[in-house]
Amino acid sequence: MRPILLITLSTLVLPFMLLGQEAGKKKDPFVKNPKANSDPNAQRQIGILVEYFKVDHLTANRMVREYAPRAVDAQPLRDELEEMIKAGTAELHETSWVIVRSGNRAQTESVREFIYPTEFYPAEIPSAIGSAATTLTSETQTKTDEKEEVTKTSQSDSASGELPAIHMTPPMPTAFEVRHIGNHMEVDPVLSNDNKTIDLNLAPELTIRLEDLQMAREGFEDTAKGLEHVFMPLFYTIKNTTKIVVIDGRYNLFGINNLPDDPDSRLITMLRVDVIVVQ
């Protein structure tokens, strides 16, 4: 009777022990069907996830040194970043995800089109300055003393070699370009015969508009005749372009970049590629 009792207790306790072990494991949020994944005739697509995490410079440096040897299997790094987000010491800065068939190219973007001039017709000084000034004075001024004041000002500027701004036509834009500001990603994956290894061309990009710069010699912005209306935008681009081999379902440490407005922080880029079975 005793051996039978021991076997019975083991049969009852073992499922609860296994249940406790499963509960202690960290669950993968990307749920997959093992039976569907094992079907060699199933149609498959590829989901590509890129995440940008903002952390301080020292932490980013430590993470790269620690996790770089395991960059192709960086689930521990992703778990640490998740805990840092909960603690408020890291920030999920941006996310991109797109699904595509093997051997095809896809792109996703969330951008704002910014149009700006790139070529200008130069500023001009009219040949008949005196007549233009007289005409302008007669049309816009009605009092005699105001006419005399405008005439004196024009003569004084001419004697000193400086022309009043009213006598110079500003530069006119003649050509324009469009720049996309925001998040853009282009991918080109190829799934191998084992349905687990992916050869991936990847180019995620973040574009930020910083400020407008006046096109005049430094220190002469206020006296740059004809150039006071010529401004060119300044952009900052964070881009990683590469070709790598990744494994289905694994996180990868993909890159680290600087931020334009926060020199003490860095962006850590994480990549995950999943083979998705069409059922």
User: Lowest-confidence range among 97-101, 224-228, 233-237?
Assistant: 224-228
Give pLDDT, residue 132.
Answer: 45
> pLDDT higher for 82 or 173?
82
| pLDDT, averaged across the chain | 78
173 or 85, which is more confident: 85
The residue ranges of every structural domain in the chain are 37-119+175-278, 125-167
Alpha-carbon dihedral angle through residues 190, 196, 200, 204, given to the nearest 10 degrees: 130
Look at residue 225 in the predicted model and tell me its pLDDT. Answer: 53
> Is the predicted pLDDT of residue 81 greater than 50, yes or no?
yes
Q: 79 pLDDT exceeds 60?
A: yes
Query: Looking at beta carbons, which pairs linking 136-142 to residues 24 or more positions away fall under 8 Å?
Result: 136/166
Residues 6 or more apart in contact with residue 26 via CB below 8 angstroms: 79
* Residue keyed to tokens 């095809």: 104
Q: What span, in angstroms and rounded, lies between the C-alpha atoms of 103 and 115? A: 34
Band of residue 83 on the pLDDT scale cut at 50, 70, 90 = very high
